[in-house]
Amino acid sequence: MACKLHRVRYYNPKPEQINCVSFNKSSKLMALARRDASIEIWDLNYAPYLLKFIPGEENTSVEALGWVNHRLLSTGLGGALIEWDLDTLSIKSTIILTGYAAWCLDVNLTNTLVAVGTEQGYINLYSVENDEIIYKRLFDKQEGRIMCCKFNSTGSVLVTGSIDTIRVWNVETGHATCRMSVSRRGKETIVWCVAVLSDNTVVSGDSHGRLTFWDSNLGDQIESYKSHKSNILSIAVSDDESSLYCSGTDPVIMNFVKVNNSTGKQKSAQWVKNVQRNIHEHDVRALVINGDKLISVGADGYLTLSSYPPKWVMRIPPMIPAPRSSVCPQKKLLLLRYSNYLEVWKLGSYAVNESGNVTITNVNLNVKPQDSNNLLEQDTEIDVKNEINIEKQHETKSLKITEKPVKLASVQTKGNKQIKCCELSPSGELIVYSTDSKFRMLKLECDDDQNNISLAKVLVNGLPSCDRVAFTADSRTMVAYRGGELKVLQVDPEAGATVVQSISCEKYLRSKCILHLHISKDTPSKKVYLVAADTQGEIAVWIKKPKMFEFFVSLPKYRCVPSALTIDDKKENLIIAYVDQEIIEYDLVKAKARKCEVCERPEWRARTAAATALAAHPARGALLARDDTTLWLLDAAPAAPAARQDKTEEPSPKKKNIAKNKRNLNSQIKIIPIKYLAGFHWLSDDEAVTLEILPENIIFQLPPVLATKRHNV
């Protein structure tokens, strides 16, 4: 059955470049900070998944991040060392630094000391044991700002880079033990990044594109390579120190490997160029090695994962964290979320002939466009078998448009605060959003021809702010999550919203930070289910009674976090997708859980991206799953009738396996590539809307790239 699809391509949030990253090797969590001072926590244990988001403040910056076991520290141009509470996503403590603005931060391997380099040449050293931050000492003041710093493997030595100079410091005394000059022929040279190997060899990257190896004991240069045409901004060394990567303003990622030049009893080693990767077009600000994968980030805002050999690339586009959009199917309204404002759109209308069928204007053969930059490595596609229906080249029909989409209203936050969550009520009357300090509810009124549009503030009592919000189908009950509590509000568009119930989640959820909040619509039993999932993987369900919500069940704990969940209202099934590509269906009536057969297919298992949203098909027994680049239709077709057996015959294990394989083959998968898919919503049984961010629209908003000559042109 064909589906009428509204392809929304006018949603173009500004991509924010990534300033810095820090990777926690024990928990496989990665923190990254963007130019707007927002901080994201990504879980890299399985498929990369955004676990937590801390909104940024205006006129602030984050220039460096560091993990101390499970604690996260940051510093920036504000001249303070900040520890973040990752349970409440707020500032836990602030330490004012000596030397004003800070550019770099590093934590020793034993997680006991933190060093911060500042604008005025001071190195601030702090002890971070026992969940405290205690001032220890200031190192001797040096001339000029400190751009980078790095502890050695034992934590007894700190290496810093600044203008024209690399210094080696004794951590116990705070005095410099060695000074290395990097300036050449009187030209100023900025040391942007340093790394320290276990044999105390120092590796530096500078503003002239040179990668240099130094003997930190003698202060002598061992070898130097002109590897880049401009600034080298980041160096990443593998755990076994046999390989390193470097990149920067010249975005080519260069790989060096260590080779032995031993002759007889004399042992020596040399670093040589290995391969280079053309993955980015803009500045690469940071590199991180996670096992066999290299993570690179920078001015384009993409989180890029790659490996070699074989060549494999995965790009995660710079998108605003979910939820990004909401719809009112009845009025065909679409709410779009940006960083600090919202837009409400009225979707377009299509022509219908006398017999009730849609009017077709033309038929298009959609062919996958070729990238103009052939030198840039493209994303690695999923390797699928022939029986999978993947629409790389498919036929679509354009409908005759009678009314174009119209923007009805725009809502700006007070003080340009970043939005944490937003929602449009199912009736289309109410718009709600929350920042980290303010919750607002607005009533939207407009006539049929959209000539008279008004937004009126609705009074909300007892809810200062929230992390997630959801409405019931009648738009008269709203549930918001804040600080470990579920707040149930009775909503009246005229009188306002008031808290009528507070549910403490301490017994049911381990973390105060929530991932998902979902309320069912129209179920056969007329029950209304409320589902909440936290960042520790705990999932709890409540049922709405005449006066209040009552706890129903907690689902068994799984090994990883849920990346998406939804409720199939017709079957009363709670469907959960996890970051390891597992899909679990939980029957809320029978209280039974089972694995989804479709996800046993090797094509689904081969996915490298987590499913970020699920939606049950309203007209058939199918499930739609989406990630940033693909829409998956998972259709569990009915199994073919098995051969008749004697009732007394017990099926053998071999026959059971054959029957299971036949069921898996009957499960159909349809793949629809869309770059980049920011949202998907059903409007009716045969009508839906997709929210698409075109890659060229992202590139258009980025700064210019470094000009390079190619083929002597």
pLDDT digits (tens, 9 = 90+) for 346-368: 998 888 776 767 777 766 655 45
For residue 386, what pLDDT is reported? 43
Interval 697-710: pLDDT, tens? 999 999 888 766 55
The residue ranges of DSSP E strands in 97-209, in sequence order, are 102-107, 113-118, 123-127, 134-138, 146-151, 157-162, 165-170, 176-181, 191-196, 201-206
For 660, residues 6+ apart whose C-beta sits below 8 A from its C-beta are none
Written in H, E and C, the secondary structure of 541-553 is EEEECCCCEEEEE
Interval 98-117: pLDDT, tens? 999 999 999 999 999 999 99
| pLDDT for 476 beyond 70 | yes
Reading the block at residue 396, the tokens are 């679509």
Interval 117-172: pLDDT, tens? 999 999 999 999 999 999 999 999 998 899 999 999 999 999 999 999 999 999 99
Average pLDDT over residues 33-52: 96
Average pLDDT over residues 163-186: 91
Query: Scanning the structure block, which residue is given the tokens 């040399």?
Result: 270
Buried (b) or exposed (e) across 317-329, using 16+ Cβ within 10 A? bbbbebbbbbbbb
| pLDDT for 642 beyond 70 | no
| pLDDT for 648 beyond 80 | no
Q: Mean pLDDT lowest for which of 17-21, 194-198, 537-541, 591-595?
A: 591-595
| pLDDT for 211 beyond 70 | yes
% of the chain exceeding 90 in pLDDT? 75
**Structure-model confidence comparison of residues 228 and 648, the more confident one:** 228
The whole-angstrom separation of Cα 438 and Cα 463 is: 9
Interval 601-616: pLDDT, tens? 888 888 899 999 999 9
Sheet hosting strand 176-181, strand order edge to edge: 146-151, 157-162, 165-170, 176-181
| pLDDT for 273 beyond 50 | yes
| pLDDT for 647 beyond 70 | no
For residue 500, what pLDDT is reported? 95
Confidence of residue 310 (pLDDT cuts 50, 70, 90): confident
For residue 668, what pLDDT is reported? 79
The whole-angstrom separation of Cα 297 and Cα 303 is: 5
Q: What are the structural domain ranges in the chain?
A: 233-317
CA 366 to chain centre: 29
For residue 641, what pLDDT is reported? 43
Average pLDDT over residues 403-430: 93
What is the per-residue DSSP string for 484-537?
TEEEEEEEETTTEEEEEEEEE-TTT-S-SSEEEEEE----TT---EEEEEETTS
For residue 566, what pLDDT is reported? 96
| pLDDT for 663 beyond 70 | no
Of the candidates 196, 198, 296, the one whose C-alpha atom is nearest the C-alpha of residue 240 is 198
Written in H, E and C, the secondary structure of 360-417 is EEEEEEEECCCCCCCCCCCCCCCCCCCCCEECCEEEEEEECEEECCEEEEEEECHHHC
For residue 361, what pLDDT is reported? 72
For residue 704, what pLDDT is reported? 86
Q: What is the identity of the amino acid at 494?
A: E
Do the beta carbons of residue 466 and residue 514 sit within 8 Å? Answer: no
Going by DSSP bridges, is the β-strand pair 613-616/622-626 parallel, antiparallel, or unpaired? antiparallel
For residue 649, what pLDDT is reported? 43
**Structure-model confidence comparison of residues 489 and 450, the more confident one:** 489
Average pLDDT over residues 323-328: 95
The whole-angstrom separation of Cα 354 and Cα 374 is: 49
Average pLDDT over residues 668-683: 91
Q: Give, as one character, the DSSP assignment of residue 555.
A: P
Confidence of residue 1 (pLDDT cuts 50, 70, 90): low
| pLDDT for 661 beyond 60 | no
Reading the block at residue 385, the tokens are 């078998």
What pTM does this model have? 0.91
The residue ranges of DSSP E strands in 154-302, in sequence order, are 157-162, 165-170, 176-181, 191-196, 201-206, 210-215, 220-226, 232-237, 243-248, 253-260, 269-277, 284-290, 293-298
Q: Give, as one character, the DSSP assignment of residue 643.
A: P
Helix (H) or strand (E) holding 140: none
Q: Give, as one character, the DSSP assignment of residue 698.
A: H
For residue 547, what pLDDT is reported? 84
**Structure-model confidence comparison of residues 668 and 665, the more confident one:** 668
Average pLDDT over residues 330-359: 87
Confidence of residue 52 (pLDDT cuts 50, 70, 90): very high
Helix (H, G, I), strand (E, B) or coil at 608: coil
| pLDDT for 645 beyond 90 | no
Average pLDDT of the chain to the nearest whole number:
88
